[in-house]
Amino acid sequence: MNITWRPRAADDFEQLIAMATGGNIAAASRDKSLVENGILKLVRFKELGRKTRRVGVREMAIEGTPYVVVNRRLGEDILILRLFHNGNATRV
């Protein structure tokens, strides 16, 4: 099982973490870890997240963060398509 990031998704990840945490290194580290651990859950739970209009594409909110990961399963592999900041999400 491989998890692959599209270049745009990887850029989204770095920029959103930096912007949302406002330079707070501890918060950035925490958010980065929560996102990465959330993505690892996709390996075990194939139906995690909600379906989108696009066939095979799912959105998964990362618990405890304002982030949403858009992904697609390609056989046994997972492709991370985008990472968004959901302005309505609250931190736990």
pLDDT at 91: 41
Q: In what order do the strands lie in the sheet with 77-85?
A: 3-5, 77-85, 67-74, 57-61, 50-51
Residue 10 lies in a domain: yes
Which whole number is the average pLDDT over 1-10? Answer: 90
Domain range for 79: 3-85
Residue 92 lies in a domain: no
Where does the pLDDT of residue 76 fall: very low under 50, low under 70, confident under 90, or very high at 90 and above?
confident
Residue 90 lies in a domain: no
Please give the residue that has the higher pLDDT: either 88 or 69: 69
pTM of the model: 0.81
Give the separation between CA 85 and CA 39, rounded to whole angstroms.
15
Residue 65 lies in a domain: yes
Express each pLDDT in 28-72 by its tens digit: 888 889 999 999 998 888 888 999 999 889 999 998 888 899 999
Whether pLDDT at 21 is above 80:
no
Number of domains into which the chain is organized? 1
Residue 31 lies in a domain: yes
Contacts of 51 (CB under 8 A, 6+ apart): 57, 58
Give the separation between CA 53 and CA 21, rounded to whole angstroms.
31
Residue 71 lies in a domain: yes
At 72, which CATH number? Answer: 3.30.2310.20
Which whole number is the average pLDDT over 16-30? Answer: 78
Residue 72 phi, psi (nearest 5)? -135, 135
